[in-house]
């Protein structure tokens, strides 16, 4: 049974999420603050995914996400954002979130996002790239015999680009393959994740050698 942690300060929203998650058979933990959420994460090492609100008293969602990613790249993180706060969505993704859901959201949308991310986390494959070794079993990237941590979403994007064997993949196709054809969020989530990946694999992220932009179309992994 998958265990999901809800970090949300509003009790009515927490209860709404909890009821729907339990209907789908998930084990659920609740935290009403960022501090409490981090404590539960230290106590429970079998948490698969976190639903993380941004606006909370004390440590906000951005800080919580950043702290989690400093030590854990494997766990899935979905941010709960205000519908109109575009900058919040981008900031959350840059801090390491895998996805976001804008409030108010339907139970079906939330469950679809959760199921999609959990599927990505559980895919067990291995792929090779020039000078790099992607090992999904360890959920990391090996570069020059050094381990580089990747989030599940970052790995899936790199794997998809590698399998294209040097051909460009459109942003639309990346979105469909990684987030699913029914994804309702902002397509810019692809660009934000590419930016995060470049920070990890490129010598100069602003002048990438490996992950190149095909302007007006998408991205490709340069092998030669």
The residues spanned by each domain of the chain are: 3-122, 126-221
Q: What average pLDDT does the segment 121-142 reach?
A: 61
CATH class in words for 126-221? mainly alpha
Q: Note the Cα 29 to chain centre separation in Å.
A: 20
Q: What average pLDDT does the segment 74-94 reach?
A: 80
On the question of a common fold for 3-122 and 126-221, the answer reads no
pLDDT (0 to 100) of residue 125 = 32
Which is higher by pLDDT, 133 or 79?
79
Closest CA to 112 of 30, 180, 42: 180
Q: What average pLDDT does the segment 197-219 reach?
A: 89
Q: What average pLDDT does the segment 216-220 reach?
A: 93
CATH class in words for 3-122? alpha beta
pLDDT (0 to 100) of residue 95 = 85
- Tokens 């987030």: give the residue: 179
Helix axes 107-122, 11-23, angle to 10 degrees: 60
pLDDT (0 to 100) of residue 152 = 86
- Separation CA 222–CA 3 (nearest Å): 38
Which is higher by pLDDT, 52 or 150?
52
Burial of 186 (0-12, 13-18, 19+ CB in 10 A): middle
- Separation CA 220–CA 162 (nearest Å): 8
């Amino acid at each position: 049974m998958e265990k999901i942690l809800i970090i949300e300060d509003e009790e009515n929203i927490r209860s709404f999420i909890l009821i729907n998650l339990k209907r789908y058979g998930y084990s659920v933990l609740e935290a009403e603050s960022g501090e409490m959420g981090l404590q539960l994460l230290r106590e429970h090492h079998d948490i698969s995914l976190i639903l993380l609100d941004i606006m909370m008293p004390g440590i906000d969602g951005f800080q919580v996400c950043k702290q989690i990613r400093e030590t854990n790249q494997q766990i899935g993180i979905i941010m709960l954002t205000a519908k109109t706060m575009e900058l919040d969505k981008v900031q959350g993704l840059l801090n390491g979130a895998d996805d976001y859901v804008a409030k108010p959201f339907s139970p079906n949308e939330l469950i679809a996002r959760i199921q999609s991310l959990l599927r990505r986390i559980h895919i067990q494959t291995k792929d090779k790239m020039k000078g790099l070794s992607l090992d999904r079993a360890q959920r990391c990237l090996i570069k020059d015999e050094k381990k580089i941590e990747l989030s599940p979403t970052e790995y899936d994007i790199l794997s998809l680009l590698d399998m294209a064997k040097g051909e460009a993949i459109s942003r639309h196709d990346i979105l469909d393959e990684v987030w699913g054809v029914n994804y309702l969020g902002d397509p810019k989530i692809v660009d934000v994740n590419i930016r995060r990946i470049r920070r990890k694999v490129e010598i100069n992220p602003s002048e990438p050698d490996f992950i190149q932009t095909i302007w007006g179309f998408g991205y490709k992994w340069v092998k030669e």
